[in-house]
Structure 1
């Protein structure tokens, strides 16, 4: 059986990256992640990302490009990350999170990221340094 894809967004706005603090499940609570969720049947990963960020944070976004690689999450799930631009709304924790925070490039390492998010965060920071206003398109 193929692994189920979980998508996350490296959401950029004005040279900053969004981090979201998990409120559940208990083993992940208090740690930070790139927000997102599971791809549902019949949905593409980019569609899932837009839906998940709307449901979890109340924002409208546009996926830009996939960060190379995927990371195992356990229990038959893998994480894929896209860079995304904020189109409208102000992110707020609606589901699965109790805090969101915009992090400047010098602040990205001040939060306790989930282990599986760390490689994607590092790549997102590299991309953000290369294009401070976020990826093109």
Structure 2
């Protein structure tokens, strides 16, 4: 369903040969796909050295318009905390904060000179009063998405062991949720692709 990518393939000499379907884990279902092929003759013709073209006549220099600045990348880290029953801890953002009322996986911004793992340990201590020092922080997947003023990059870690009891320290509401019920909770758009992945992991 990516028309732009299909157009790029066409410019490179690929031709459509048929259709099929393939299961996409991120979408949680089978999706139709188009099959493309690059004939050998076309590939060889495109890779041959082109004849040297005559130098173009001099042209007037036109001013270069500067491109709009690209959004900076914001690195945040999140945790899927799993209890003994395989439930996942969600936190509801309190009033007065951005995206208030939405549920999310606990976490936060990675500060300068921090690794994602160090940031996760710090955030869990500050937000929930949990000690993840020495715990097995298993990287599971990540989100990479344009979020308007910045580009969001968010690795998600699966955490099964910690010290302490989750306690809301920043006014948030906490709830343990079964993987099958994650879709019932209103979450920020970048978190939504994580739901089918976690459901497949815990299904």
Please say whether Structure 1 and Structure 2 have the same fold, judged by a TM-score greater than 0.5.
Answer: yes
User: Is 2:90–2:104's contact at 8 Å kept on the other side of the alignment?
Assistant: yes
If asked which structure has higher relative contact order (CA below 8 Å, sep 6+), I would say 1
Alpha-carbon distance change, 37 to 27 in structure 1, aligned in 2, over 3 angstroms? closer
Report the equivalent of 2:54: none
Larger radius of gyration, structure 1 or 2? 2
1:25-66 superposed Cα distances (whole Å, 9 cap, x missing partner):
445111100010010111100110111011101112332123
- Inter-partner Cα distance in structure 1 for 2:157 and 2:107: 10
Provide the secondary structure at the position in 2 that maps to 1:65.
strand
User: Is 2:139–2:155's contact at 8 Å kept on the other side of the alignment?
Assistant: no
User: Is 2:180–2:199's contact at 8 Å kept on the other side of the alignment?
Assistant: no
Whether 1:35 aligns to 2:110 is no
User: Is 1:83–1:124's contact at 8 Å kept on the other side of the alignment?
Assistant: no
User: Is 1:71–1:80's contact at 8 Å kept on the other side of the alignment?
Assistant: no
Report the equivalent of 1:16: 87
User: Is 2:143–2:190's contact at 8 Å kept on the other side of the alignment?
Assistant: no
1:99 Cα deviation after fit: 0.5
Provide the secondary structure at the position in 1 that maps to 2:156.
strand
Higher strand fraction (1 or 2): 1
Unaligned stretches of 5+ residues in structure 2: 1-70
Unaligned stretches of 5+ residues in structure 1: 130-137
User: Is 2:179–2:198's contact at 8 Å kept on the other side of the alignment?
Assistant: no
Q: After alignment, is 36-45 or 117-126 more displaced?
A: 117-126
User: Is 1:67–1:124's contact at 8 Å kept on the other side of the alignment?
Assistant: no
Alpha-carbon distance change, 68 to 84 in structure 1, aligned in 2, over 3 angstroms? same
Alpha-carbon distance change, 60 to 121 in structure 1, aligned in 2, over 3 angstroms? farther
Q: Normalized against structure 1, the TM-score is what?
A: 0.80
Give the CA RMSD over aligned residues: 2.1
- Inter-partner Cα distance in structure 2 for 1:6 and 1:68: 10
Report the equivalent of 1:86: 161
Q: After alignment, is 46-55 or 120-129 more displaced?
A: 120-129
The count of aligned residue pairs is: 128
User: Is 2:77–2:107's contact at 8 Å kept on the other side of the alignment?
Assistant: yes
